[in-house]
Chain A
Amino acid sequence: DAKTTQPTSMDCAEGRAANLPCNHSTISGNEYVYWYRQIHSQGPQYIIHGLKNNETNEMASLIITEDRKSSTLILPHATLRDTAVYYCIALNYGGSQGNLIFGKGTKLSVKP
């Protein structure tokens, strides 16, 4: 699975959009980009995933560049409860279920 690179930490003002970047320049054509977050020591929480097209759900939007070498997770109106470590993971199921390889992620701090 492709390696991903994320900033170590970011701050965001409450109510503003949080834009979390991820680089995955070696991603292959059949690898999905997944985003999870971990609030304190809780279990990782699934946010969103995509392959080529931009995706949106009730939690966030995922913007994937045309060349698929990077992506951005957007939390449109960040709240204090969005303070967490956010993980960008490239995953290729390749016929099996695939295991998630977590990096260090981005620690997002939402400030009042």
Chain B
Amino acid sequence: EPEVTQTPSHQVTQMGQEVILRCVPISNHLYFYWYRQILGQKVEFLVSFYNNEISEKSEIFDDQFSVERPDGSNFTLKIRSTKLEDSAMYFCASSGGGGAQETQYFGPGTRLLVL
């Protein structure tokens, strides 16, 4: 069964450093998403991406964040200058052709720890 994969599973970085989190969505999907979950808190939407541009973003997704689909398979989230409060699980998701009944499927997540 096709699934969303994410790398790395864990990432430790120093405050102020740049990190890139990688995702390989399900191959025939067209819509891509990033969510995050701070320890003990709710899963929060960050950004959605379609047709090589951002469709929607939350207030969390500020100028420190960017997303990219560098090739036909990867979808990346870059945090330009990490802060302590960026420590969280980051989940990538993808869905198919959009519109009604398009289910989002999630990857296993990347646990980011900013020291």
Contact = CB atoms under 8 A, between A and B. Distances in A.
**Does A pair with B?**
yes
Interface of A: 30, 32, 34, 36, 38, 41-46, 49, 87, 93, 95-97, 99-104
Contact of B100 (A32, A87, A101, A102): A32
What does DSSP make chain B's interface, helix, strand, loop or mixed?
strand
B104 interface: yes
A5 B58 CA distance: 22
B99 A102 contact: no
A38 B35 CA distance: 14
Contacts of A44: 43, 91, 106
B65 interface: no
Contacts of A43: 4, 91, 93, 106-109
Contacts, number: 65
What does DSSP make chain A's interface, helix, strand, loop or mixed?
loop
Contacts of B75: none
B64 interface: no
Given A43-B107, A102-B44, A104-B42, A93 B35 contact: no
A42 B101 CA distance: 23
Interface of B: 4, 31, 33, 35, 37, 42-45, 48, 50, 55-56, 58, 89, 91, 93, 95, 98-109, 111
A99 B45 CA distance: 7
B31 A41 contact: no
Nearest to B109: A43
Contacts of A42: 108-109
Which 9 pairs between the two chains have the least Cβ-Cβ distance?
A43-B106, A102-B43, A99-B45, A97-B31, A44-B106, A97-B98, A43-B91, A43-B108, A102-B42
A100 to B, nearest CB: 6
Contact of A49 (B93, B98, B101, B105): B101
28 contacts: A32-B100, A32-B101, A36-B106, A41-B89, A42-B109, A43-B91, A43-B93, A44-B43, A44-B91, A44-B106, A46-B103, A46-B104, A49-B103, A93-B99, A93-B102, A96-B48, A96-B98, A97-B31, A97-B33, A97-B55, A97-B99, A99-B45, A99-B56, A100-B35, A100-B43, A100-B45, A102-B44, A104-B42
